[in-house]
Structure 1
Amino acid sequence: MNPLQTLLQQTLLSTQHVSKAAIIRKRDGGIRARTPNFKITQEEFARIQAAFDSPTFGREHPLSLGGRNYQCIRVDDRAIYAKDGSTGIIIAMAKNSYVLSTYDVGMYPAVCAEATEKLAEYLREKGK
């Protein structure tokens, strides 16, 4: 198994508060690891990049992912938090990657956010 895939399983999915997750290359949107059936289009990837490049853009335009629109509630140089009702997405930036996690109804957003940001921090420390 891909080491990043294993890392995704051990650090995010094992929390039981992440429903889907992916590690995506910043330069081209290539998928380095992901949960089954978690697809990200180039348009969705472009909006994520635009939100990191311009927090104002992120706050004014919803992020689309998997057919849902998520309203950004926090955007800074390291993370984006967005939600749609009781579901949401956390995107944390590593050196060369984005770590994306979604949570569903009944899951704790704070646990999802903490796990996602810790994985991104680990990847930054490893230069990935």
Structure 2
Amino acid sequence: MEKIVEQNLLFDFYGELLTDHQKSVYQDAVFNDMSLSEVADCYGISRQGAFDLLKRCDRIMQGYETKLHLIERFSNAKNRLHEIQQLLEDTSSLSENKQKVSDLIAEIIEEL
């Protein structure tokens, strides 16, 4: 399950950087749950070719993440926003949390 989530995030952030052919094959195999044989038949390539293409796409998108860290930044911002939400929901110490909320917002802005 975790691998599927990772593949979804990678494709959401970096899928447009793949070629049209790579995107089509990747979408069919990963999101449309086609087998390697079905992908191979659909695109006129071998099963090994389909497998290699999928691995190459994963490697390409992972390489982009290694260099750009967009998913990491997104995840960090999401976690901080969740923390802000929790601080704001704690109305008993809202005045005490004001500085913490302000600091977290500043961190998010700085990172983005």
- TM-score, structure 2 normalization: 0.30
Q: Which has the higher strand share?
A: 1
Structure number with larger C-alpha Rg: 2
- TM-score, structure 1 normalization: 0.28
Q: Which has the higher helix share?
A: 2
